[in-house]
Structure 1
Amino acid sequence: MGVYGVIGFPVSQSMSPIMHNQEFQALQMDAYYTAFAVHPSQLEQAIEGIRALHIKGINVTIPHKVAVIDYLDEIDEEARLIGAVNTIKNENGRLIGSNTDGEGYLRSLLFLSKAPLATKKVLVVGAGGAARAIVIAIARHGVQKIDIANRTISKAEQLVKHANQFVAGSAISIHDAEEHLSEYDIVINTTSVGMSPHVTDSPLQVHNLKRGTIVSDLIYNPLTTLFLKQAKERGALIDNGVGMFVHQGALAFEKWTGISPNLERMTKTVLNELGG
């Protein structure tokens, strides 16, 4: 049997086990995926355990995505640029790290957009780890511009420097983002503002949003945040975090097994688990 899993702390809330196990079952694969709670002080031992137990593949979640790099044999270019790993493949004891978060989001966005992104102007709200993965992936793919709005401008400026290797863009305040919102074709919230139980909060006021803008929120609890509800009322095409979660998981599945899973089935599994 092939053993796979996710390491994090805490990790009991992860939906990855049910998503992957249902897919293994549907594809009649002799494999099992489980969650491993790994305290930060035990990370190195846990990574050695992957080798010792011949675990074939691991997802990495908070708080280990950056620290885990020190214990791997190799990381790919995307993970190097992002500075974080969310997927490990065990190739005969050699542990190779990658990051499917950004590419997973990009695939979800391309599925939603139905049009090339080359002429699009993008606003990303937030400058944390999720923002970095998304900004690097979109910038490498190619858009006209990516601006980053964050309450702490210095953090946005740091991320803009990395993005500017590939695309033009600026660090702006939340206020300026709200004032110039009509300039953007795609708006992405990468912060936790609006996540349950704080469902009356919103990361951005949308009064200047233009009709037809793609508005994306990485949150999926609730499935439709106040931010997305208000954007939809102004004629936006909205998207929650389920698409990114499923696509990043599917990419990891492909890296581990060489098999492309069924995205529609994986999405249904996650939505059923969320009660949506």
Structure 2
Amino acid sequence: MKKLFGVIGAPIAHSMSPVMHNSAFAALNVDGYYHPFHIQPDDLADAVKGMKAIGVEGFNVTIPHKTAIIPLLDKIDPLAEAIGAVNTVVREEDQWVGYNTDGLGYVRALREEYPGVLDDQHVLVIGAGGAARAIFYTLASEGISRITLANRTPEKAKAMIEACPYEVEGAVWSLEEAEEKLAEYDVIIQTTSIGMAPKVEEMPIALDHLKAMAFMSDIIYNPLETKLLQEAKKQGAYTQNGLKMFVYQGALAFEKWTGIFPDVQQMENVVLQQLGGKRC
């Protein structure tokens, strides 16, 4: 009998995770199957109990359950606890243990593509939601401390910095202030949903003051190249979309479940094929 894995969320039909993970199981001859479970918020507690009862070995967690699931788990990893969100659950000695591979996946992808030494660079993170928190705290946990947050409501960004358990030299700007100070930053990380399909013509900030040869990263991967990345590329910036973050967070979850780190290139190719696109 195949070992059962999955992802829980609402909605969930759009998820690329099943095809990505099932292709990895097949490529590695792992006897596993990954299934999407549509779970409404009111059913979350019953679902977590039920998944243990039917022998699920591990699962991913997506919107809207990443925070709500925490009190339903037996243990939580310190980084996931600091972030306040779980995206990966592993069965360890019949206990559910929660992790967050979103931030780790992002930083792994960033380090792979950034054309230089990342640790001393001045980083601007746009947004203060769950993805921003995961990325900000993971960067800080790895010693990247010069991180500024820009958000439509600066108070939310300030609270996020104040709650960070890792040492940071973080400032907080409004989006308008960030636009004016953009030339100060080597790496800009866009973490909001602005620019995602179908509103593909939107941008979170103007790029008039973008530094030459800056690195512009957008965690969106549908479309594969947002208007923000298109405009940044026109100004000579290096650009990165969110596809590798998605692949790496999945690969890190796969490793926690199986002990095997999969072929991320193969996983990326599968997702690209599903999206009907090509690398930017």
1:43-58 matches, cutoff 5 A: 43-58=44-59
SS at match of 1:67: coil
1:167-186 matches, cutoff 5 A: 167-186=168-187
Are 2:159 and 1:162 aligned? Answer: no
Partner of 1:230: 231
> Given the two structures, how large is their TM-score scaled by the length of structure 2?
0.97
Partner of 2:222: 221
Are 2:191 and 1:195 aligned? Answer: no
1:1-276 matches, cutoff 5 A: 1-163=2-164, 165-276=166-277
Give 1:164 deviation, angstroms: 7.1
Give 1:140 deviation, angstroms: 1.1
Instruction: For 1:12, give the aligned amino acid.
Output: A
> Given the two structures, how large is their TM-score scaled by the length of structure 1?
0.98
* More deviation, 238-247/155-164: 155-164
Instruction: For 2:194, give the aligned amino acid.
Output: V
Instruction: For 2:43, give the aligned amino acid.
Output: Q
Are the structure 2 counterparts of residues 201 and 87 from structure 1 closer, same or farther at C-alpha, using a change threshold of 3 Å?
A: same
Give 1:261 deviation, angstroms: 0.1
1:271 & 1:118 partners in 2: Cα distance? 30
* More deviation, 100-109/110-119: 110-119
Instruction: For 2:132, give the aligned amino acid.
Output: A
- Alignment deviations for residues 60-82 of structure 1 (CA, whole Å, 9 cap, x no partner): 00000001001100000110110
Contact 2:82 2:165 (C-alpha < 8 Å) held by counterparts? no
1:178 & 1:151 partners in 2: Cα distance? 12
2:165 & 2:100 partners in 1: Cα distance? 20
Contact 2:85 2:100 (C-alpha < 8 Å) held by counterparts? yes
2:191 & 2:23 partners in 1: Cα distance? 28
Contact 1:54 1:90 (C-alpha < 8 Å) held by counterparts? no
Instruction: For 2:201, give the aligned amino acid.
Output: T
Aligned-residue Cα RMSD (Å) equals 1.0
Give 1:165 deviation, angstroms: 3.3
Give 1:114 deviation, angstroms: 4.3
SS at match of 1:187: strand
1:72 & 1:153 partners in 2: Cα distance? 32
Q: Share of identical aligned residues, percent? A: 49
2:22 & 2:169 partners in 1: Cα distance? 41
2:241 & 2:185 partners in 1: Cα distance? 18
Give 1:159 deviation, angstroms: 1.2
Instruction: For 1:152, give the aligned amino acid.
Output: T
Give 1:127 deviation, angstroms: 0.2
SS at match of 2:148: strand
Contact 2:137 2:166 (C-alpha < 8 Å) held by counterparts? no
Count of aligned residue pairs for this structure pair: 276
Give 1:163 deviation, angstroms: 3.8
Contact 2:139 2:145 (C-alpha < 8 Å) held by counterparts? no
Give 1:143 deviation, angstroms: 2.2
Could you list the runs of 5+ residues in structure 2 that have no partner in the other structure? none
